[in-house]
């Protein structure tokens, strides 16, 4: 398997001068661009078999669902890798829900089953490892709770100090408690996630790694979501993959993962990618459906994880949807709660942002974007215990039959 990566601008393609800043030519976000030979299905199959065999080994790198794919990640000295055995998550078949939604198959990849209860761990292991390899002593991020919890855990494992900028009063108590448990220093910012991210940009300094998804290392870990879906399905490509969208790093990363799998010969077609946002925080749905550029909004939704009004990775996400003939759809808070109730009642459970996927599937089916023939994977991004107020609200409504 011959693959290597060059750090470049995701927009103007200029080689990156520094990995920790936007492109110095055009100001856009960087990415690790795959340089590979033409697809080779035999070599790809052999590589996938090697990766699968690594599961049985007892070394920390092989026990990680991310570092098992290390040939497809930025090269980091193994001694610097910080791992919590992330990325080993289940794909749950949901035949009853598929039937209810009128589609041929539905499965949930539950990324809430990661060490800190969200998909952020997939990227954080790479971002913190890279930071440690470069001698950073501090990590910082803006967050609606999950990025900060993940950063706090990995930074603590690496012996680094961690600082989280969070929107005051707008994140779940469970997430605040979790990040503090790992010893993070919390700075509360007035306003929304977008204000916290703006504040962070002004606080960056030498020796401090910014670990939001503007950091290209994060996305390299998160792209392994695509490999996890494919591996769990014996490399059968689903028709659609449905992802909740906030700052849009994750949708961009998952799209990149599928494109790389195709470029290497692991698969021969792309699944279509659908991004679901909450109606009160849906600037990407608006821009994707209208064909215009981003118009930021003041975010308002009960799905606090995806209350983002000015997503930084919108250009990358738009390119992934274009490449995969994807779609973007907005759902109401009531639809999110109802979907969360159905996922809970199926014995799975997740936080509201993740339930937006099932609500989005219902909308996409109603508008005819999804058909009765479609085989769909939804990515559940956060664990049910991440937002207990939401669980109580949904269960109370179910109990009174509302």
319 phi/psi in degrees, rounded to 5: -65, -40
Nearer to ligand F0G, 83 or 277 (CB): 277
Q: Which stretch binds ligand F0G (CB under 6 A): 124-132, 138-146, 294-302, 340-348?
A: 138-146
CB 383, min distance to ligand F0G, A: 9
Helix (H, G, I), strand (E, B) or coil at 129: helix
382: contact with ligand F0G by CB under 6 A: yes
Nearer to ligand F0G, 47 or 301 (CB): 301
The answer to whether 276 and 306 have CB atoms below 8 angstroms apart is no
Region of residue 265 (left: phi > 0; alpha: psi -120 to 50; beta: else): left
Contacts for 298-303 with beta carbons within 8 Å, 24 or more apart? 298/192, 299/192, 299/193, 299/194, 301/333, 301/336, 302/278, 302/333, 302/336, 302/337, 302/352, 302/390, 302/393, 303/244, 303/278, 303/333, 303/336, 303/351, 303/352, 303/353, 303/355, 303/356
What is the rounded CA–CA span in Å between residue 7 and residue 28? Answer: 13
Nearer to ligand F0G, 265 or 326 (CB): 326
State the chain's maximal CA–CA distance in angstroms. 60
215: contact with ligand F0G by CB under 6 A: no
116: contact with ligand F0G by CB under 6 A: no
143: contact with ligand F0G by CB under 6 A: yes
87: contact with ligand F0G by CB under 6 A: no
Q: Which stretch binds ligand F0G (CB under 6 A): 84-92, 95-103, 139-147, 202-210?
A: 139-147
213: contact with ligand F0G by CB under 6 A: yes
Q: How many residues bind ligand F0G (CB under 6 A)?
A: 24
Nearer to ligand F0G, 104 or 185 (CB): 185
Q: Which stretch binds ligand F0G (CB under 6 A): 49-57, 182-190, 241-249, 389-397?
A: 241-249
CB 308, min distance to ligand F0G, A: 6
Side-chain-facing half-sphere of 81: CA atoms under 13 Å: 24
The answer to whether 344 and 391 have CB atoms below 8 angstroms apart is yes
109: contact with ligand F0G by CB under 6 A: no
Residues 244-273 that bind ligand F0G (CB under 6 A): 244-251
What is the rounded CA–CA span in Å between residue 370 and residue 357? Answer: 13
324: contact with ligand F0G by CB under 6 A: no
Which of 149, 169, 123, 114 is CA-nearest to residue 304? Answer: 169
280: contact with ligand F0G by CB under 6 A: no
Beta bridge partners of 141: 164
144: contact with ligand F0G by CB under 6 A: yes
The answer to whether 252 and 218 have CB atoms below 8 angstroms apart is no
Tokens linked to 369: 């974007």
CB 252, min distance to ligand F0G, A: 8
Task: Tell me which of 82, 353, 361, 370 binds ligand F0G, using CB under 6 A.
Answer: 353
Residues 182-211 that bind ligand F0G (CB under 6 A): 193
Tokens linked to 45: 């199959």
147: contact with ligand F0G by CB under 6 A: yes
Alpha-carbon distance values, 317 to 104, 120, 252, 254 (Å): 27, 17, 5, 9
Q: Which stretch binds ligand F0G (CB under 6 A): 90-98, 202-210, 346-354, 366-374?
A: 346-354
44 phi/psi in degrees, rounded to 5: -65, -45
Nearer to ligand F0G, 83 or 143 (CB): 143
Nearer to ligand F0G, 120 or 262 (CB): 120
Q: Which residues bind ligand F0G (CB under 6 A)?
A: 118, 143-147, 193, 213, 244-251, 305-306, 308, 351, 353-354, 381-382
């Amino acid at each position: 398997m011959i693959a290597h990566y060059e750090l470049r601008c995701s927009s103007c393609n200029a080689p990156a001068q520094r990995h920790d800043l936007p492109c110095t030519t055009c100001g856009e976000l960087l990415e690790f661009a795959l340089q590979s030979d033409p697809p080779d299905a035999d070599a790809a199959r052999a590589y996938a078999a090697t990766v699968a065999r690594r599961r049985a080994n007892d070394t920390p790198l092989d026990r990680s669902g991310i570092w098992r794919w290390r040939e497809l990640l930025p090269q980091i000295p193994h001694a610097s890798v910080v791992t919590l055995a992330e990325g080993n998550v289940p794909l749950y078949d949901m035949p009853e829900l598929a039937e209810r939604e009128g589609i041929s198959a539905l499965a949930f990849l539950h990324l809430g089953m990661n060490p800190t209860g969200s998909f952020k761990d997939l990227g954080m292991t790479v971002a913190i490892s890279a930071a440690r390899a470069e001698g950073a002593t501090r990590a910082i991020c803006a967050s609606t709770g999950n990025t900060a919890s993940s950063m706090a855990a990995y930074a603590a494992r690496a012996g680094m100090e961690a600082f989280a900028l969070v929107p005051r009063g707008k994140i779940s108590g469970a997430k605040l408690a979790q990040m503090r448990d790992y010893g993070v220093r919390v700075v509360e910012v007035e306003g929304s996630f977008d204000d916290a991210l703006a504040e962070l940009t002004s606080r960056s300094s030498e020796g401090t790694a910014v670990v939001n998804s503007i950091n290209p290392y994060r996305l390299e870990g998160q792209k392994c979501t695509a490999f996890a879906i494919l591996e769990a399905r014996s490399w059968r490509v689903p028709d659609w993959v449905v992802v909740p969208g906030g700052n849009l790093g994750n949708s961009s990363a998952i799209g990149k993962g599928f494109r790389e799998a195709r470029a290497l010969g692991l698969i021969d077609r792309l699944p279509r990618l659908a991004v679901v946002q909450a109606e009160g925080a849906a600037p990407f749905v608006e821009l994707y459906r209208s064909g215009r550029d981003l118009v930021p909004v003041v975010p308002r939704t009960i799905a606090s994880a995806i209350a983002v009004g000015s997503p930084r990775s919108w250009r990358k996400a738009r390119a992934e949807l274009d490449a995969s003939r994807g779609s973007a759809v907005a759902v109401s808070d009531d639809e999110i709660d109802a979907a969360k109730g159905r996922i809970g009642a199926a014995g799975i459970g997740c936080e509201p942002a993740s339930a937006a996927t099932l609500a989005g599937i219902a909308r996409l089916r109603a508008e005819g974007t999804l058909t009765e023939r479609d085989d769909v994977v939804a990515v559940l991004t956060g664990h049910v215990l991440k937002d207990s107020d939401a669980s109580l609200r949904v269960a109370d409504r179910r109990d009174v039959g509302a």
